[in-house]
Amino acid sequence: MPKVAVLPGDGIGQEIVPQAIRVLRGVLAGASLQLEFKEYPVGGAAIDAVGRALPEETLTACREADAVFLGAVGGPKWDTLPAPERPETAALLGLRKALGLYANIRPVRMLPALVDASTLKREVVQNTDLVVLRELTGGLYFGEKGRKDNPPAAYDLMLYTEGEVERIVRLGFETARLRRKKLCSVDKANVLETSRFWREVTLRVAADYPEVELTHMYVDNAAMQLVRYPEQFDVLVTENMFGDILTDLASMLSGSIGMMASASLNGKKGLYEPAHGSAPDIAGKNLANPLATILSGALMLRYSFAREKEALAIEEAVGKVLDAGYRTGDLAQAGDKVLGTKEMGDAVLAALGG
């Protein structure tokens, strides 16, 4: 039986992950694929339990599992730790690097029921349907970093190898080929050497995909275009840091960051998690929106287990629940039926059946 290493982590991670697992079990009831879910400590919770954000036992389990399902890590309690020990760095970046998860996929689709939940105007966001592919194991996040004296200074090196650029860009073309055949490569080639290199590699790879329309856009312009006219985008591909910033921005095009699912892949293995954080301010209160995590479960079925039918069933169930007017607090407007985290899980499970 394929194994899923389940890492709920910190804050709302402890509440949203169990709801997603219930939905996954629900959609797979009676299916030929059965998954074994096993929990492991990670993040601040693991620091408290065993003194390290990514314990050896957890890492080994993730290496051996067919997929990893993560909630969120971090919180004020661990913010004062030295950078390499913090949950975000040690656990999240540690897992991405150790498992070689170079491709981060963040789909952004406006569901009809949520058009008015966005802070942006209906006519701007209503037809949003795009995917951001973020390079996840290179660039500023993983380049050499350090401090200097006289005068006091700090640096983070941005470095990309040809192979690193090529594999993520290729995935961009492959993704676009299966969609509306438009790929926008986002860079800062007017200033950065890494971006000029990125562009060269992208143009070379483009020769293998004549059916895909390739455009290039500077990252500052891309940020503006995403809120001006998001419909113009199909697939965006970009480096690690630009992708981090643009995906938070793009999440508002679907109503809330509480809707944004995320898959981090290395070809064989995948880690699935909501794109949002551990929200310590609402943790433990049954207030968190579990939908991004539930939708990450759908991505896991799609990318790690090739179960498109069941993935769609989850996505449709989420759509139905929202169409029926059910919302968690982050999405609620006057007149909506506000549900807690667990009750939202119940509602999606019920919608799966009917």
What is the binding site for ligand IPM (CB under 6 A)?
A: 88, 92, 244, 275
Are the beta carbons of 226 and 253 closer than 8 angstroms? yes
**CB of residue 316 vs ligand IPM: minimum separation in angstroms?**
26
Number of residues that bind Mg ion (CB under 5 A): 1
264, 299, 301, 347 from 25: Cα distances, Å: 22, 15, 11, 14
Q: Establish whether 248 is a catalytic residue.
A: yes
Tokens 């699935």, residue located: 272
Q: Which does 92 bind (CB under 5 to 8 A by kind): Mg ion, ligand IPM, none?
A: ligand IPM
Q: Quick one: which segment of 157-165, 168-176, 243-251, 299-307 binds Mg ion (CB under 5 A)?
A: 243-251
Give residues with Cβ within 8 angstroms of 137, minimum separation 6: 96, 97, 100, 101, 102, 164, 240
Please report how close the Cβ of residue 244 comes to Mg ion at its closest, in angstroms: 4
- CB-nearer residue toward Mg ion: 173 or 242: 242
- Nearest distance from C-beta of residue 264 to ligand IPM, angstroms: 8
Q: Has 330 been annotated as catalytic?
A: no
Query: Contact between 244 and Mg ion (CB under 5 A)?
Result: yes
Q: How far apart are CA 71 and CA 32, in angstroms?
A: 26
| 244 is a catalytic site residue | yes
Span near Mg ion by CB under 5 A; candidates 103-111, 144-152, 156-164, 240-248: 240-248
Note if 229 is an active site residue. no
Q: Letter for the amino acid at 67?
A: A
Q: Hey, is 98 helix, strand or coil?
A: helix
Give 122's DSSP letter: H
88 binds, among Mg ion, ligand IPM, none (CB under 5 to 8 A by kind): ligand IPM
Residue 277 binds Mg ion (CB under 5 A): no
156 labelled catalytic? no
Closest CB 67 distance from ligand IPM, rounded Å = 17
**C-alpha closest to that of 274 among 49, 64, 83, 107:** 107
Catalytic residue among 66, 248, 336, 346: 248
- In the chain, where does DSSP find H-type helix? 13-28, 44-50, 56-64, 94-98, 122-125, 162-177, 193-206, 219-228, 240-251, 291-303, 308-323, 341-353
Tokens of 218: 């500077």
Among residues 26 and 274, whose Cβ is nearest to ligand IPM?
A: 274
Catalytic residue among 188, 269, 326, 330: 188
Contact flag: residue 241 with Mg ion (CB under 5 A): no
DSSP, collapsed to helix, strand or coil, labels residue 252 as helix
Give the range of 68-76, 108-116, 154-162, 242-250 binding Mg ion by CB under 5 A. 242-250
Contact set with Mg ion (CB under 5 A): 244
Please list the active-site residues.
Answer: 141, 188, 220, 244, 248
